[in-house]
Structures are given as C-alpha cells and as structure tokens.
Amino acid sequence: MKYKNIIPCSSKKISEYDEIAEDFFPKVFGTKYSEVLTTDESDLTDFVDFFCREKEKKKVRKKILKIYKLDIVELKTTLLVDIFEWIKMHA
C-alpha cells in the first residue's frame, strides 16, 4: 500500500485576521474560531451543511449582512480571507 504525503495549505494570510475571525465564527457559525481548522484556502462553504448548501449559504449571507452591514455577494468570492479582509476594510 502506497501512502501519499499530505501537504497542508498555508495559514499565513488568514492568521492576519485572527481578531476578525474570533468575532466572526461565534456570531455567524455559532462556534469558536479556536475550535476549527482554517487555512488561506478555507471557504465559507466549508462551514455550511453540504446537503443544504444553497439554503445555508443564504442564511450565512443574511447573518453577515445583519452583523457587518456588508453583502458578500458583492465580493464574488466566498474565501474566508477575502471576507475578513473586506470586513476589515469596511470597519
């Protein structure tokens, strides 16, 4: 049996937004940021129910709009680092 090496994604960029993530995760996902694994390639859809993805994405989008007064549809991306950067720019 051959084993493959797993190369983890970088988390350098997302770590720049730890303060925002610590606020974001409990408010949006109901979990602590310290209890999840995130990388620079973590996506909003990684944290929503796979089987109800579209419905869940709409719920999350509405929460972000209500909490941060920003509509992520304008971003055209659902990468968390991009969302956190946008929140920081508009804070």
Q: Cα–Cα distance between 42 and 79 in angstroms, integer?
A: 6
Q: Cα–Cα distance between 91 and 51 in angstroms, integer?
A: 33
**28 falls within a domain:** yes
- Domains in the chain: how many in total? 1
**pLDDT tens for residues 1-58?**
777 777 778 999 999 999 999 999 999 999 999 999 999 999 998 988 766 777 888 8
**pLDDT tens for residues 46-88?**
988 766 777 888 899 999 999 999 998 888 889 999 999 999 9
**2 falls within a domain:** no
**5 falls within a domain:** no
Across the chain, mean pLDDT equals 90
Range of the domain at 62: 14-89
